[in-house]
Chains A and B, each alone.
Chain A
Amino acid sequence: MSTVTGQPNPKAKTKLSPDAATWLRMYRQMLAIRLFEEQVNELYTRALMPGLAHLYVGEEAVAVGVCEALQNDDYITSTHRGHGHCLAKGASPNRMFAALLGKEAGYCKGKGGSMHIADPATGNLGANAIVAGSVGIATGAAFSSKYRGTTQVAVCFFGEGALGQGVLYEEMNMAQLWKLPVIYVCENNSYTEYTHCSETTAGDMAARATAFGVHAETVDGQDVRAVHDVTAKLVERARRGDGPAFLLCNTYRHHGHHVGDISREYYRSKQEERLWATERDPIKLLSNWLVANKHADAATLDKVHAELKSEMQKAVEFAIAAPYPSADKASEDVYA
């Protein structure tokens, strides 16, 4: 656990005003997640992937905007829809694909799969397949960083479905009481599995945090620059000792709840999906902005696309070729 040293990190200063190179890097990161997920869709459709996959397509600006405001030794916890968080925090596509295919070379050596990517080297405490399952872990990591006297911040990603879980409120209460450096990032994509949030969530979402005195912000989750800017401020606050925050990011998943969820009209309209995939697509929004402000031209962006496409292709090939763990490994790692 080389990155989790328990020592204050002298470099732990958040960049508050990113330059063009940074925006371009975020573009690359978002596109990497998009192309990664397209490969996952393909793998699943070709029946090469065991289990389920919950694609992050459409929500990339949240993971990238947030993680770009973090240091390597800051912590995150992720969800069933977690590929984007893990990649944005620094996971390698090779080992991610290998993990998704259940290969020994994957993160977690074939024990975790798509919903349980974890990686101490990048501060990733783990994706969690229990809705709201990691709110305690993230809050505990923040408790630990304060106890040990480091400046590490913990970010807890969850969907708006997690607002239905009581443990979230227990954690926010303690985080505020004890001024813990944790940021609760609620990715509101409007739907749980197949149900609109208006049918599951009473009242105002952000008000649930402010009721505890937790500082809350709401942001357009399709605008990576906005997500990054507000996160950077919340991270600064948390490092200063000003306590937790709740960041509500309004976003949308382009695909179904999981790859097999293809007939969706009983819960949301094609027209709504089309709107979010065109006018509200986070990658298009950023590329338009980059080009309009002359930070990049179309050729540069095309080049990035081509590079990433080939990188993902190679990563998939790596994962397909990688061996499965031998069956005798099933009983390893139950106890440390």
Chain B
Amino acid sequence: MPDTNTREITFAEAVREALAEEMRRDARVFILGEDVAEAGTPFKVLSGLVEEFGTKRVVDTPISEAGFTGLAVGAAMTGLRPVVDIMFGDFITLTMDQMANQAAKVHYMSGGKWRVPMVMRTTLGAARRSAAQHSQSLHAWFSHVPGLKVVLPSTPYDAKGLLKTAIRDENPVVFFEDKMMFKMKGPVPAEEYTIPLGVADVKREGDDITLVATSSMVQVALGAAGLLEEIGVSAEVIDPRTTWPLDEKTLVDSVKKTSRAIVIDEGYGRYGVTAEIAAVIAEGAFHYLDAPVKRMGAMHVPIPFSPPLEDVTLPTERSVFDVARALCNRS
């Protein structure tokens, strides 16, 4: 990270800066979504953008997720670079045909002739006491579809650099933001930078166990690594940052070094991101493993409302610590 002029800004500010910079750089970039203009979204992530770029480029839509996502596909094919805002990740279900059957397929079905350079920004994550339809982490759904790329930033620095790259990408990219993270601060350089898609980041180096963690779970894994250190276990924390493209090499190399791995992701484990990454590690580092690869994700239930119920559905620093300790045969 270039450290000249590095400031502390929030995750939301980092997202907003990325958008503003790309909109200044490229007149084809525009934002489309519900309450994105004057309201700046319910999370205020986009506050101020309409003042700078006007309503031609920050477009409030009706509550028509399929409709404006489909419109973005056509706009992207014909020379624009839409950034679609889906207020809650739970609502991506409404856009599935537009993303999975249209955006993801256009380039391939046309023999490489049409392109869909669009970004969908949306959220993931529970813990806001929002119940089952405002708390899901559904990024695995899009990660399953060839033709889409999926980005999961876990820090303000990553959010800014990855979003700028996503906007410049020639393909449909889905960008998931943890809504619990919007107010989290972190160092972000004032100068321009971008981060390539498909490059994992080692958030903490260690020798005894690899914790692969995404998005909201990166902080959880770092917390667990701190607890593990107290009992003499050195944990490496790796954030793949994109589920597709997936930096398989960095993950496998880490486990070759540590011989143990836990994969932690806020989506459902079954048929999910953790399953895929665990398989990649098992295939790539089989002979180096001293224990089966463990997976931790949301409990396999709709996310409940009541705090004592919701809290047990998510991996925590403590639960990751416990699993890691058992895996390392420490008591």
Residues of A whose CB lies within 8 Å of any CB of B are: 4, 6, 75, 77, 106-112, 116, 118-120, 125-126, 128, 130, 133-145, 147-148, 154, 166-167, 170-171, 173-174, 177, 332-336
A168 to chain B, nearest CB (A): 9
Contact of B109 (CB < 8 Å), options: A111, A119, A138, A173:
A111
A308 to B24, CA, bound (A): 53
B98 to A, closest residue via Cβ: A136
List residues of chain A with CB within 8 A of the CB of B115.
336
In the complex with contacts A144-B80, A147-B75, A170-B62, A107-B111 CB distance below 8 A:
yes
Chosen A-B contacts, 7 in total, with CB atoms closer than 8 Å, are A112-B110, A118-B106, A136-B73, A143-B71, A144-B79, A167-B70, A333-B107
List residues of chain A with CB within 8 A of the CB of B101.
130, 133
Indicate if the CB atoms of B146 and A334 lie closer than 8 Å: yes
A6 to B80, CA, bound (A): 10
B98 to chain A, nearest CB (A): 6
Which of B71, B76, B101, B114 has the most chain A CB atoms closer than 10 A to its own CB?
A: B71
Q: Is B195 an interface residue (CB 8 A)?
A: no
A149 to chain B, nearest CB (A): 11
Indicate if the CB atoms of A140 and B110 lie closer than 8 Å: no
Contact of A174 (CB < 8 Å), options: B64, B82, B112, B114:
B64
Indicate if the CB atoms of B113 and A119 lie closer than 8 Å: yes
Question: B150-173, CB under 8 A of A: which get 1 and which 0?
Answer: 000000000000000000001100
A128 to B77, CA, bound (A): 15
List residues of chain B with CB within 8 A of the CB of A332.
112
List residues of chain B with CB within 8 A of the CB of A106.
111
B82 to A, closest residue via Cβ: A140
A135 to B, closest residue via Cβ: B70
List residues of chain A with CB within 8 A of the CB of B73.
136-137, 140
B323 to chain A, nearest CB (A): 35
List residues of chain B with CB within 8 A of the CB of A136.
66-67, 69-74, 98, 102
For the complex of A and B, the 10 pairs showing the least CB-CB separation, nearest first, are A136-B70, A140-B74, A170-B67, A109-B111, A170-B64, A137-B74, A336-B170, A333-B112, A108-B111, A118-B110
B31 to chain A, nearest CB (A): 12
Among B77-136, those with CB < 8 Å from A are: 77-80, 82, 97-98, 101-102, 106-117
Indicate if the CB atoms of B147 and A130 lie closer than 8 Å: no
Among B203-253, those with CB < 8 Å from A are: none
Q: Is B321 an interface residue (CB 8 A)?
A: no
Indicate if the CB atoms of B98 and A116 lie closer than 8 Å: no
Indicate if the CB atoms of B78 and A336 lie closer than 8 Å: no
List residues of chain B with CB within 8 A of the CB of A75.
78
Indicate if the CB atoms of B171 and A335 lie closer than 8 Å: yes
Indicate if the CB atoms of A137 and B110 lie closer than 8 Å: no
| Further pairs besides A167-B97, A333-B108: 18, Cβ < 8 Å | A119-B113, A125-B114, A126-B109, A130-B97, A130-B101, A133-B101, A136-B69, A137-B70, A140-B82, A144-B74, A144-B80, A154-B74, A167-B67, A170-B68, A171-B71, A174-B61, A333-B107, A335-B171
List residues of chain B with CB within 8 A of the CB of A109.
111-112
A75 to B77, CA, bound (A): 11
A244 to chain B, nearest CB (A): 12
List residues of chain B with CB within 8 A of the CB of A110.
111
Indicate if the CB atoms of A139 and B70 lie closer than 8 Å: yes
List residues of chain B with CB within 8 A of the CB of A167.
64, 66-67, 70, 97-98
A138 to B73, CA, bound (A): 9
A77 to B77, CA, bound (A): 12
A144 to B78, CA, bound (A): 6
Indicate if the CB atoms of A108 and B70 lie closer than 8 Å: no
Indicate if the CB atoms of A147 and B30 lie closer than 8 Å: yes
B92 to chain A, nearest CB (A): 15
A86 to chain B, nearest CB (A): 12
A336 to B148, CA, bound (A): 11
Which of A106, A108, A143 has the most chain B CB atoms closer than 10 A to its own CB?
A: A143
Indicate if the CB atoms of A112 and B111 lie closer than 8 Å: yes
A98 to chain B, nearest CB (A): 11
A126 to B, closest residue via Cβ: B110
List residues of chain A with CB within 8 A of the CB of B97.
130, 133, 167
In the complex with contacts A126-B106, A147-B80, A140-B113 CB distance below 8 A:
no
Indicate if the CB atoms of A4 and B78 lie closer than 8 Å: yes
Indicate if the CB atoms of B108 and A125 lie closer than 8 Å: no
B294 to chain A, nearest CB (A): 31
List residues of chain B with CB within 8 A of the CB of A6.
79
A168 to B146, CA, bound (A): 26
A156 to B, closest residue via Cβ: B74
In the complex with contacts A130-B101, A136-B74, A144-B75, A170-B112 CB distance below 8 A:
no
List residues of chain A with CB within 8 A of the CB of B61.
174
Indicate if the CB atoms of A177 and B62 lie closer than 8 Å: yes
Indicate if the CB atoms of A174 and B71 lie closer than 8 Å: yes
Indicate if the CB atoms of B80 and A148 lie closer than 8 Å: yes
Which of B66, B117, B149 has the most chain A CB atoms closer than 10 A to its own CB?
A: B66
Indicate if the CB atoms of A141 and B74 lie closer than 8 Å: yes
List residues of chain A with CB within 8 A of the CB of B170.
335-336
Q: Is B318 an interface residue (CB 8 A)?
A: no
Contact of A4 (CB < 8 Å), options: B68, B79, B82, B111:
B79
List residues of chain A with CB within 8 A of the CB of B66.
136, 166-167, 170
A120 to B, closest residue via Cβ: B113
Which of A144, A148, A174 has the most chain B CB atoms closer than 10 A to its own CB?
A: A144
A83 to B97, CA, bound (A): 23
A166 to B109, CA, bound (A): 24
Indicate if the CB atoms of B62 and A173 lie closer than 8 Å: yes
